[in-house]
């Protein structure tokens, strides 16, 4: 008989001071041996992978009791939460978008758990259209996405329950708000793309055997759902006789084509199309390999506008006739240059958003590739938007940086003039703070950018509490953006630094590839060099430095804290990929192999991955930093077992008195759709844990 862990037997009474020795819940060890290329690897906490077992549930509860007891006794926890709520409590309004006879926009009065979708008619009369706060009593069911038919008369919206990636899709008559047909279930990693008012395309996996939150899902399928029919009769469009991990379909604005993207990894994709104007047409191949990233931007009749990094690591826009898609027929519309391109379309123009050293600048082109103008932005930071339907006369864009709250602007594509549309009223004086971009040298001599933000007049004496944040993977770029949580950190004298590591997309495909597979250590070296720079330049010191990252960034934190435990005082790995030998066996994890490789592909790759896998590099007798691992029990992107096993290893092997705690949010997933209340409390807990373990006794 397995013994169920009981809380009363294992939870200690905590007497709080910075050197408290914590009695952790029991994490039993059961030998479980896996063999990789002749080498035996013990996985004693394999039992924690079973997210449906009573023992795992009891372990989660026990860990949370210890963690929350510790956090509750930090003297300024409530004070910091009060300030965070004060700053968070301002009205937030999104850019509007027109659908049919209405103009829609999201609004949050400040502390609502989920933003509410409103609309105005042609007379300016406002009404509530959809309130996600009514989806569940505890605010854990969120709006996943919303898509209107071309004429705006029908709408399909998806919901996520408990933060899961599995979604349900509900269809409404937009005018009456009455539900049409049955709810579509078991939808995952999918948008909804309407074809006329007849139905829509969506993607999903077959429900896996075993736990739907952790079992492997690797055959994605594209379906067509006809309105007022049973989901059981939905037509399989792609993915039945061919196995692809990621499949998506989108209908062109003129509704003549369905474009299908198919991939086995998060980088590189095939491309197909279906001619919807011809009955019984067959799927036609446009691109038959995964060597590059290819996305259809738009079409003008049979002329296709494609965004690609084929022979253009920083991307370009090419055109070709759909009947002659061979690469030798491609013509540059917007040629590649030295900065990374992310284009959008609206009002009959192409808006080329470029990134130079992680900062935005925008150029407006016509569909012949002729430059119309360079768009003047409000400052140095991140601009996004400029998207819209072809006939829109006014577009919108957002602008933000680390000290400027996200502000919405109108943009006239004919004149190039912009005006403030919605400027948030945040109780934060941006003029008291500054951001500085520096370039530091990594281990192999590579120059890496980092933006450091702090209160003006900060004395560089090595004693400033500092959070160093990073990601370094999957071609994701970290660009300047305002955060209430970071604003509170800055108010309390903290420094916030963001390093643009290799593996990200800040300098295109070459920068991304330089942090993948056998080059993954470059990412960790870049992060370590960023920490060394901050210490060398007296922004902070090892006693006042925390490192933070989520998902792939959680791997980053886990790898760096196990490689250089002496470098930092606090580690904050969130929803991290931490068991690198087994990540590809859960949910859609096998699709991450472009970045990581897998332990199964070769002996060399196994040895390389094992060399940095955080779970496998925790060593007994080592003094690790104070660590707060965070995850969600419904995370089906990076399953919480990664975090469970890492915390168990650290608690068993930690020497010294630095606490190792794990905070497991219940009914929460990888992060998307998390309620405002839960988000605030999680940020408060990470900050007070960090400050407390740096020896900070009072807030400024």
Q: Give the H/E segment covering residue 676.
A: helix 676-693
Q: What is the dihedral of CA 484, 485, 487, 489, to 10 degrees?
A: 170
Nearest alpha carbon to residue 218 among 663, 584, 694: 584
How many angstroms separate the CA atoms of 582 and 548, rounded? 23
Distance CA(131)–CA(113), nearest Å, equals 10
State the pairing for strand pair 116-120/126-130: antiparallel
Catalytic-role residue among 220, 512, 642, 670: 670
Q: CA–CA separation, 622 vs 654, rounded Å?
A: 6
Phi/psi for 682 (5° steps) reads: -65, -45
Number of CB atoms found within 10 A of residue 464's CB = 21
Q: Which of 212, 162, 210, 209 is nearest to 186 (CA)?
A: 212
Helices (H) and strands (E) in the chain, counts: 11, 39
537 phi/psi in degrees, rounded to 5? -85, 10
If we measure between CA atoms, which residue out of 594, 596, 620 comes closest to residue 608? 596
What radius of gyration, in Å, describes the C-alpha atoms of the chain?
25
Q: Long-range contact list for 179-182, CB < 8 A, 24+ apart?
A: 180/154, 180/227, 180/228, 181/227, 181/228, 181/229, 182/230, 182/231
**Residue 302 among the catalytic residues:** no
Please name which of 554, 575, 545 lies closest in space to residue 470, comparing C-alpha atoms: 554
- The strand pair at 626-632 and 660-665 is best described as parallel
Q: Which two tokens stand for residue 652?
A: 């068993």
Rounded Cα gap, residues 567 and 561, in angstroms? 8
Q: Where are the alpha helices (DSSP H) in 434-493?
A: 484-491
Phi/psi-derived region of residue 383, left when phi > 0, alpha when psi is between -120 and 50, beta in every other case: beta
670 is catalytic: yes
CB 74 within 8 A of CB 688: yes
Q: What is the DSSP string of 216-237?
A: ----EEEEEEETTS-GGGPEEE
Q: How many CB atoms lie within 10 A of CB 281?
A: 13
Whether the Cβ atoms of residue 62 and residue 11 lie closer than 8 Å to each other: yes
Determine how many CB atoms are found less than 10 A away from the CB of residue 679: 18
As given in the structure block, the two tokens for residue 494 are: 């903290």
Distance between CA 77 and CA 73 in Å, rounded? Answer: 8
Strand intervals (E) in 500-566: 545-550
* Cα–Cα dist 578/43, whole Å: 13
Structure tokens at 602: 């070769």
> Measuring CA to CA, which residue among 646, 639, 520 is closest to residue 572?
646
Q: Select which of 551, 613, 643, 675 is catalytic.
A: 551
> Cα–Cα distance between 192 and 199 in angstroms, integer?
10
How far lies 271's CA from each of 118, 289, 290, 321, in Å? 36, 8, 9, 14
129 touches 118 (CB < 8 A): yes
Report the C-alpha gap between 427 and 109 in whole angstroms.
Answer: 15
What residues are annotated to the active site? Answer: 551, 670
């Amino acid at each position: 008989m397995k013994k169920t862990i009981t809380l009363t037997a294992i939870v200690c009474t905590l007497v709080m001071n910075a050197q408290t020795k914590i009695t952790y819940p029991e994490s039993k060890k059961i030998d479980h041996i896996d063999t990789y290329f002749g080498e035996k690897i013990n996985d004693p906490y394999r039992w924690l992978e079973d997210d449906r077992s009573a023992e795992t549930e009891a372990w989660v509860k026990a860990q949370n009791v210890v963690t929350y007891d510790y956090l509750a006794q930090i003297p300024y926890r409530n004070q910091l939460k009060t300030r965070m709520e004060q700053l968070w409590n301002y009205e937030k309004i999104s850019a509007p978008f027109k659908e049919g006879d209405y103009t829609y926009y999201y609004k949050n009065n400040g502390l609502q758990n989920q933003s509410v979708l409103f609309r105005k008619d042609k007379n300016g009369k406002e009404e509530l259209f959809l309130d996600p706060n009514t989806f569940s009593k505890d605010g854990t069911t969120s709006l996943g996405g919303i898509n209107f038919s071309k004429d705006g008369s029908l709408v399909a919206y998806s919901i996520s329950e408990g933060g899961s990636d599995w979604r349900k899709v509900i269809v409404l008559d937009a005018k009456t708000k009455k539900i049409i047909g049955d709810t579509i279930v078991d939808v995952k990693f999918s948008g909804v793309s309407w074809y006329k008012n007849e139905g829509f395309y969506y993607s999903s996996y077959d429900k896996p055997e075993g736990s739907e939150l952790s079992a492997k899902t690797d055959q994605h399928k594209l379906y067509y759902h006809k309105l007022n029919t049973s989901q059981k009769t939905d037509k399989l469009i792609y993915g039945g006789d061919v196995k692809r991990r990621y499949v998506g379909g989108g209908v062109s604005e003129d509704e003549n084509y369905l474009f299908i993207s198919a991939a086995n990894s998060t980088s590189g994709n095939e491309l197909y199309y279906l001619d919807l104007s011809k009955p019984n047409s067959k799927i036609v191949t446009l691109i038959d390999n995964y060597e590059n990233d290819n996305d259809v931007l738009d079409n003008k009749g049979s002329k296709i506008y494609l965004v690609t990094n084929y022979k253009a690591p920083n991307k370009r826009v090419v055109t070709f006739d759909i009947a002659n898609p061979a690469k030798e027929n491609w013509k540059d519309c917007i040629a590649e240059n030295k900065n990374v391109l992310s284009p959008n379309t609206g009002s009959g123009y192409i808006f080329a958003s470029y990134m130079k050293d992680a900062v935005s600048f925008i150029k407006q082109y016509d569909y012949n590739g002729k430059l119309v103008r360079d768009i003047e932005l409000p400052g140095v930071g991140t601009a996004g938007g400029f998207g819209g339907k072809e006939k829109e006369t006014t577009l919108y864009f957002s602008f933000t940086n680390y000290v400027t709250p996200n502000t919405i602007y109108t943009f006239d594509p004919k004149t190039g003039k912009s005006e403030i549309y919605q400027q948030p009223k945040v109780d934060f004086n941006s003029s008291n703070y500054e951001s500085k971009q520096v370039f530091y040298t990594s281990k192999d001599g590579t120059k890496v950018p980092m933006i450091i933000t702090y209160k003006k007049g900060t004395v560089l004496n090595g004693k400033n509490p500092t959070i160093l944040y990073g990601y370094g993977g999957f071609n994701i770029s970290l660009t300047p953006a305002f955060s209430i949580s970071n604003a509170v950190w800055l108010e309390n004298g903290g420094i916030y630094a963001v390093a643009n590591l290799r593996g990200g997309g800040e300098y295109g495909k070459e920068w991304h590839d330089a942090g993948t597979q056998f080059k993954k250590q470059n990412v960790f070296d870049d992060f370590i060099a960023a920490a060394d720079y901050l210490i060398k330049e007296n922004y902070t010191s090892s006693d006042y430095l925390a490192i933070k990252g989520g998902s792939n960034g959680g791997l980053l934190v886990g790898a760096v804290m196990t490689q250089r435990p002496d470098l930092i005082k606090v580690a904050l790995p969130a929803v991290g990929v931490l068991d690198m030998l087994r990540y590809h066996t859960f949910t859609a994890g096998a699709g991450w192999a472009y970045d990581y490789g897998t332990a199964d592909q070769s002996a060399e790759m196994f040895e390389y991955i094992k060399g940095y896998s955080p779970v496998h590099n925790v060593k007994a007798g080592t003094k690790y930093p104070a660590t707060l691992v965070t995850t969600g029990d419904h995370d089906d992107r990076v399953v919480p077992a990664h975090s469970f096993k890492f915390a168990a290893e650290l608690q068993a092997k930690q020497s010294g008195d630095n606490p190792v705690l794990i905070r497991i949010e219940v009914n929460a997933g990888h992060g998307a759709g998390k309620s405002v209340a839960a988000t605030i409390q999680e940020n408060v807990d990470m900050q007070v844990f960090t400050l407390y373990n740096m020896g900070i006794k009072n807030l400024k």
